[in-house]
Amino acid sequence: MLAGIGIGTTQGSAQGPGGPPVAPPAPPQGGIQAQTTRAQLEAAIADAETILSSPGYSGRIKDAKRREIALLRGRLTDGDLRPGDRVIISVQGEPTLSDSFTVSPNRTILLPAVGEISVRGVLRSETENHVKTEIQKYLRNPVVHVQTTVRLSFLGQVTRPGFYQIAPDVMLGDAIMAAGGPNQGSDPTKSRVERAGKEIVTREGFAQALTAGKTIDQLSLAAGDEILIGGSRTVRVGGSGFFSVILPVITAALSLGYLAGQVF
């Protein structure tokens, strides 16, 4: 996992908050399989379209499927990597290429001695092979491993609101821990995700995603998406409300060390 990854302010560097540059973590073997493939996205669209064509589902469910289809089609067309995301590369025997690189506004990453690599239209699950293909133009039989992170905004009833780099295979509940976790007054039924001011994960969908343990990738979240933690009522740990839903997830997050750095 990407536990403890430092977040830098310039491309090609990794820096912890308030500290010196640190080396990015080495990605695990075969890490790309944790993210959704193009074939899986196409299959999910087909399943959702089947529901839309069926008279046996409510309008509410069909509306949710329409939103899902729009997100999935956007991924197939535009890819997953957006400006501000990180691509963490490890090339065996090549320390200058083993670093964390920020996706530019032009959707490229700049690698030493290799140059700019476009990641426009590339899925997270395709990133490792895509980067390896480009590096192979300069190195013979390189051993390349790649992970990515998503730059997400956490707002509302969280301890430390702001932008964070989150691994796409992290569950939504674990991701909230990057911002210090939910406040005592938070409420999952009043939380949602927005993109450019438009709701892409409804309040109901948000609560369901927490209980189902859905990941950032499964929710099709992308850089700049705002995770808005709502709430107005007082809750107790173990009682009703956000903490009764997310407490088991928080415990798992702390035990596994799912922490991410904040972008300043």
Exposure b/e, 225-245, CB count within 10 A at least 16 = b: bbbbbbbeeebeeeeebbbeb
**pLDDT confidence of residue 184:** 86
pLDDT at 252: 43
Model pLDDT for residues 133-142, shown as the tens digit of each residue: 999 999 999 9
pLDDT confidence of residue 238: 40
Buried b (16+ CB within 10 A) or exposed e, 158-178: beebebbbbbbbbbbbbbbbb
Is residue 164's pLDDT more than 90?
yes
Rounded CA-CA distance 20/228 in Å is 31
Integer Cα distance of 99 and 21 in angstroms:
11
> What digits encode the pLDDT tens for the residues 185-211?
888 889 999 999 999 999 999 999 999
Q: What is the mean pLDDT of the chain?
A: 81
Percent of the chain with pLDDT over 70: 75
* DSSP structure class, residue 171: B
